[in-house]
């Protein structure tokens, strides 16, 4: 067999516990791959299908990272809508000792693969938006309040929605940190799902809080519903913050004092109007992408979106207009689009995200936060079916 560092474990390979030979899993197929590990669908010796993650041995400290993740999953065993942790053990592949982590198999693709893949025919509707949001908000509530941790990498690839059972899942807790130990200068998360205060702060002494997960969830819901990122990064590492700033301005408008304050503790010097204007007007002049590249196609698509939005939704912030445009393409109503906007806005707005963390009383908190917004919207309509924070399934 070829090394796991260069190829996945083949179908039929048995992953066996080094200390208990009776515990073995037969690989069916590879179902996911990250920087440090590969995930397989496997059949246990008892006849149950599971997901089993093996770390990539040639990666630095991969065993230590895997052991840490296993401890994390054990710690999070009572967090709802997360993969059920089953066991962990040491195994050998190509004479190399690896860490195997076994969890319940999630019987569906991640939301990126299910709804954003170019070949996908599934539509992410208003109903699915609320189904996914309700359950993931419940996961985050327990994670933030009870476990005092932040996920820090919420994104479409880490969200699952089973269309047959309406179950949603949040996965990949490799970036999780305790809230009291979350420095701003640690490179975590995915750029296009990071909140502005995490991107633009110049004070590396500042520690951020769990509200970064709410922005990321809102940005994920936006991406799924519109089939395009709220913030798209089209240039290389040296330019990504300029990309982010340009997209932020295009979607939300030119920053002003109120806008900056709504984002939180951002150094105002970064948002000097002259600097912002220079970034935006010079955007197309910086390393223009090849006309056949995905980056060029994105910019071309985005410019068409702006023209259409300015014509049909004048005066409306571009990010909201993009949701109305998506609703029209899905043949959903403007009222449904408005509800999605209200829900996503409750996650993107800095003050509302802070309220989610600062108000201890649940009844008071639900009046103004994302959880409360979801509950209010569920009460206003008979559709879509919404699973609210309490975990109850209701058709109001």
5 within a domain of the structure (yes/no): no
Last residue of some domain: 59, 78, 104? 104
Q: With pLDDT > 70 as the criterion, what percentage of the chain qualifies?
A: 71
Q: Write the pLDDT tens digit of every residue in 70-126.
A: 999 999 999 999 989 999 999 998 888 899 999 999 988 888 888 988 777 788 999
Q: Where are the beta strands (DSSP E) in 35-113?
A: 37-44, 49-55, 85-93, 96-104
Do 164 and 62 share a structural domain? no
159 within a domain of the structure (yes/no): yes
87 within a domain of the structure (yes/no): yes
Phi and psi for 230 in degrees, rounded to 5? -65, -45
Q: How confident is the model at residue 389 (pLDDT cuts 50, 70, 90)?
A: very low
Q: Write the pLDDT tens digit of every residue in 20-46.
A: 988 999 999 998 887 788 999 999 999
pLDDT of residue 366: 54
- Distance of alpha carbon 151 from alpha carbon 177, whole angstroms: 7
Q: With pLDDT > 90 as the criterion, what percentage of the chain qualifies?
A: 39
Rounded average pLDDT over 148-175: 91
39 contacts: CB under 8 Å, gap ≥ 6: 30, 31, 32, 33, 51, 52, 53
Pair type for strands 149-150 and 177-178 = antiparallel
pLDDT of residue 383: 44
**Cβ burial 291-328 (10 Å sphere, 16+ → b, else e):** eeeebeebbeebeebeeebeeebeeeebbbbbbbbbbe
Domain with residue 23: its CATH number is 3.30.200.20
Do 72 and 125 share a structural domain? no
**Residue range of the domain that includes 76:** 14-104
pLDDT of residue 360: 62
Question: 């515990």: which residue's tokens?
Answer: 23
Q: Kindly report the number of other CB atoms within 10 A of residue 174's CB atom.
A: 19
Using the Cα atoms of residue 217, residue 222, residue 223 and residue 224 in order, give the sign of their dihedral.
positive
- Distance of alpha carbon 389 from alpha carbon 245, whole angstroms: 33
43 within a domain of the structure (yes/no): yes
Question: 């938006």: which residue's tokens?
Answer: 129
Do 131 and 52 share a structural domain? no
Is residue 8 classed as helix, strand or coil in its secondary structure?
coil
pLDDT of residue 58: 72
Between 62 and 195, name the one with better pLDDT.
Answer: 195
pTM of the full predicted structure? Answer: 0.82
pLDDT of residue 24: 94
Domain with residue 191: its CATH number is 1.10.510.10
Do 384 and 302 share a structural domain? yes
Between 369 and 220, name the one with better pLDDT.
Answer: 220
Rounded average pLDDT over 287-293: 58
Phi and psi for 296 in degrees, rounded to 5? -65, -45
- Distance of alpha carbon 84 from alpha carbon 159, whole angstroms: 15
pLDDT of residue 37: 86
Q: How confident is the model at residue 385 (pLDDT cuts 50, 70, 90)?
A: very low
Rounded average pLDDT over 51-70: 84
7 within a domain of the structure (yes/no): no
Number of separate domains in the chain: 2
Q: What is the DSSP letter of 182?
A: -
Query: Are the CB atoms for 85 and 73 separated by under 8 Å?
Result: yes
Q: What is the mean pLDDT of the chain?
A: 79
Highest mean pLDDT among 179-183, 249-253, 258-262, 309-313: 309-313
**Cβ burial 126-147 (10 Å sphere, 16+ → b, else e):** bebbbbbbbbbbbbbbbbbeeb
């Amino acid at each position: 067999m070829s090394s796991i560092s260069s190829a996945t474990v083949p179908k039929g390979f048995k992953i066996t516990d080094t200390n208990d030979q009776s515990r073995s899993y037969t690989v069916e197929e590879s179902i996911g791959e990250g920087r440090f590990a590969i995930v397989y669908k496997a059949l246990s010796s008892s006849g149950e299908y599971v997901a089993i993650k093996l770390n990539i041995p040639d990666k630095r400290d991969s065993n230590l990272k895997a052991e840490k993740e296993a401890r994390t999953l054990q710690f999070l065993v009572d967090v709802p809508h997360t993969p059920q942790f089953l066991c962990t053990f040491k195994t050998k592949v190509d004479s190399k000792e690896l860490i195997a982590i076994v969890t319940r198999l999630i019987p569906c693709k991640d939301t990126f693969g299910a709804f954003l893949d170019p070949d996908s025919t599934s539509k992410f509707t208003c109903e699915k938006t609320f189904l996914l949001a309700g359950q993931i908000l419940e996961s985050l509530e327990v994670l933030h309040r009870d476990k005092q941790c932040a996920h820090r990498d919420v994104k479409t690839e880490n969200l699952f929605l089973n269309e047959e059972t309406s179950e949603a899942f949040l996965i990949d807790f490799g970036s999780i940190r305790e809230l009291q130990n979350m420095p701003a200068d640690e490179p975590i998360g995915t750029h296009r799902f990071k909140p502005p205060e995490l991107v633009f702060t110049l004070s590396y002494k500042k520690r951020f809080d769990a509200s970064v997960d709410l922005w990321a969830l809102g940005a994920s819901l936006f991406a799924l519903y519109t089939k395009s990122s709220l913030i798209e990064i089209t240039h290389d590492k040296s330019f990504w913050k300029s990309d982010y700033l340009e997209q932020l301005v295009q979607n939300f408008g030119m920053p002003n004092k109120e806008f900056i304050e709504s984002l939180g503790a951002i150094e105002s010097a970064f948002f000097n109007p002259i600097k912002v204007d220079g970034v935006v007007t010079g955007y197309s002049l910086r390393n223009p992408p090849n006309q056949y590249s995905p980056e060029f196609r994105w910019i071309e698509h985005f410019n068409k979106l702006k023209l259409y939005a300015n014509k049909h939704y004048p005066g409306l912030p571009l990010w909201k207009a993009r949701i109305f445009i998506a609703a029209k393409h899905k043949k959903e109503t403007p009222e449904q689009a408005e509800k999605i906007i209200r829900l996503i806005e409750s996650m993107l707005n800095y003050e509302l995200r802070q309220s989610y963390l600062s108000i201890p009383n649940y009844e008071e908190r639900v009046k103004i936060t994302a959880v409360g917004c979801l509950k209010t919207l569920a009460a206003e309509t008979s559709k879509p079916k919404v699973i609210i924070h309490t975990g109850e399934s209701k058709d109001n």
